[in-house]
Structure 1
């Protein structure tokens, strides 16, 4: 099918729903560990509590990719029904999760939230490949990254912004502060509205051969065989990208799960207080606990705010690449390699920052890696696979995102950082080393179509 080139605003409209998706992911990534700690979780238990996120991605994304490849509605298209269903469920979960009365409830809602976000997210990756000609693929994925950067920065700052408006960071023991509850409610609203914007401003191409499409759709019991067949016949470039993704996502899972305890302790010197350490029958001890708890919540706001910097720098990274890739070719391999190495340096620098303000620079470097992770692997992959299977291939590719996170969650990250020392800040050093390894793994990519694409050659 000859696909026409789309204008910037057409690509913007089809990608705008990612703003809401990233609000969900940024609130989850920046503040779920804080919620877990507030509800009494031990530091070493936090990665395991996060296992919901990668497990749901492993199960949901290939299924949604497979189903969306076989969906067509003259009114709603192929991918948009999944955007909408995921948005409704995600918004409900985002609103409820900070109101969790107990740790197990919060962990359960994380399962629901992450599964719902994945229902919306996977088809967005496939939509770029569906809608755009090869010459605009890098442009499309980078535009998504630009919107993701905006969402990451705003959502990561939401609890701090809400707190600045006078909504309290203080709360009784085991209760999430009102500032976090309001921030998650705003996130739920933005999630739903941004997805609706894309659903109603974007059209989709129908299947190229409708008769063949209907025949494929009528086949029974093909899901598992098709998934296994596609895994077995995975292109070599996809396997090499998978190795890069493994180390990249191990690093970012480490950040999402342990940055809050690591930085509140090491940089802000305000670890979460343990109620059992205070004699709550004494008024002065109770007051000391409240002060320590409020200090932890405020420094957690600041950790989220500084983490938001990586969304801002990834946005700047994406903006530069958006303008550049709309006119000229790039070497995707070397762009990705350099970005990941800079991100690794950013993580390692967190151990050495002399004051909290320096975290802005650390997370700026991390943002270069994040911006590249969200665009370059998908641009390289989309040039190496059958376009008719784009949804299921993108879903299978997600395995290389979730498997390292599962390994990290079930003890990998705790084991790795304790090889360096007992302090939780060592987890950020592990994240940095992992990103640098991922960067050098790009040297394995040799497929010329994956490495570079010249718009002038079309």
Structure 2
């Protein structure tokens, strides 16, 4: 398929997309501002909500499993479907923006009213699924709308909106408290500051996505064909050949790995959430086996076959970036789960979720999260473009990851909670490169007609480390340093450094 597009381009038949103005770049990504408000409210407050409803520190990772598991299931499917969607005036990606935003707004309305822990956990599942339905096509949308020479700028603007939305979502409960809204609640209840912030987030999310839907016009399938070349009529046959050539032994190996993990949990007494990891490994093996058998039987690839085939046939560049994503997002998920207990326990001396000190510390976490997101927004517009021009996109990402590792490590040494703001500067620089550089590199290298499914599959390597952290980190914390979650930040610093080392293998492939 890529060779066909290259041949057409060589003959001068491929047109170029219209170069977008700054306003055009802003309109394309403005919906991400609201989506990130939703993610920020979730990341900064879900541990607080779960603990307020009675869960223990050891059980937090299990409750957080819902979010990455939902992303793992939703993103490749939505990416595949959005590549093949065209709903008249609504277009290709925008139907998914709108549907996801509406469902997420409803979840944000219901979440803080959860009467019991089970309802809150279910609402987290619904919220994260809905946010992923909106978010995944936005990644591909930038590639759809921009030529390659604007990809870095497009993802930079998107990162700036992510940072700005996260600042608003993270700091809003703290701001409401300063305006006189109650930040304390009876046992088993959620403070008004959190409730009102979630309601505001739902409204802001829906409004910002509607802005992008109304202010942009997607290119039609005919226009995209003129930009990227005609679709390869042999693509389906190629996928079937790739699947049919796969060995059953490889599929069975995934199933065996899943069974081994389940057996290890049963024999060693690890946390029961680790069963999920084994189940996922086995499920991928089963899905691969079904796809292979269907291809050999001449039944067509279907959605399952295309996703399995594209996953197993990822380009080398994507595989190397996937390893970087795996380690960098492991560090981020450790931070999102554990920052609240670390800050409230170590710096405010309040492990009890019902105490005023705990609520004060949890509100300071909102400020910290707003800080790293604010730094990311500024970095994406100022620092990252400058570095990318001087040293290239790959080296820029390495610098960002090292800054993140330094930020996590510094948490061990700061004398009080106010100095944590300095730690968040390093984390914010890392966050800006994590959100921009891998996607800019990939969007310029992947087949444009399959950008949705490839972006969805790439995000598997955002989700899998989160599942590992949620299932394994709880066991590590419980067995080696119970009641001392500060040590999870050492893991975050180390994994961020490993990500930086892995990025050195990408330098030869990226600009």
Q: TM-score, normalised by structure 1?
A: 0.90
Matches within 5 A, 1:311-330: 311-321=373-383, 324=386, 328=389
Pair 1:259-2:339 in alignment: yes
- 2:416 aligns with 355
440, 443, 446: which one aligns with 2:501: 440
Equivalent-residue separation in structure 2 for 1:39 and 1:319 (angstroms): 40
How does 1:122-133 map onto structure 2 within 5 Å? 122-133=136-147
CA distance in 1, matches of 2:387, 2:417: 36
2: distance between equivalents of 1:129 and 1:329?
A: 24
Q: 2 CA distance for matches of 1:422 and 1:42?
A: 11
Contact (CA 8 Å) 2:384, 2:396: kept in 1 or not? no
Aligned partner of 2:428 in structure 1 is: 367
Shift of 1:355: 0.9
1:83 aligns with 2:97: yes
**Offset, 1:323:** 5.8
Match of 2:160 in 1: 146
2:450 pairs, out of 368, 380, 389, with: 389
| Deviation sequence 1:359-394 (CA, Å, 0-9, x none) | 111111100111111011111112221111000000
Contact 1:143–1:322 at 8 Å: present in 2 too?
A: no
Spell out, residue by residue over 1:223-257, the C-alpha distance to the aligned partner (whole angstroms, 9 max, x if none): 01111110121011111111111111111111111
Partner of 1:11: 25
Query: Partners in 1 of 2:342 and 2:386 — Cα distance?
Result: 37
CA–CA distance in 1 between the matches of 2:311 and 2:350?
Answer: 47
What CA deviation, in whole Å up to 9, does each residue of 1:115-172 have, x standing for no partner? 0000000000000110110001011001100111111111110101111111111211
- What displacement does 1:213 show? 6.7
- Partner residue of 2:370? 308
Contact 1:4–1:132, Cα closer than 8 Å, also in 2:
yes
8 Å CA contact retained: 1:417, 1:430: no
- Normalising by structure 2, we get a TM-score of 0.80
Name the CA shift for 1:388/1:64 in 2 (closer, same or farther; >3 Å). Answer: same
Deviation of the 1:353 alpha carbon: 1.4
Where does 1:214-229 land on structure 2 (aligned, <5 Å)?
222-229=302-309
Q: Is the 8 A contact 1:142 1:321 kept in 2?
A: no
Mean CA deviation greater in 254-263 or 191-200: 254-263
Question: Which residue of the partner structure matches residue 103 of structure 1?
Answer: 117
Query: Relative to 1, partners in 2 of residues 1:383 and 1:323: Cα closer, same or farther, differing over 3 Å?
Result: closer
1:440 CA displacement: 1.4
1:194 aligns with 2:208: yes
Do the aligned partners of residues 85 and 214 (structure 1) sit closer, same or farther apart at CA in structure 2, a change above 3 Å counting? farther
Structure 1: where are the runs of 5+ without partners? Answer: 274-291, 453-458
Q: Using the TM superposition, give the Cα deviation of residue 74 of structure 1 relative to its aligned residue in structure 2, in angstroms.
A: 2.9
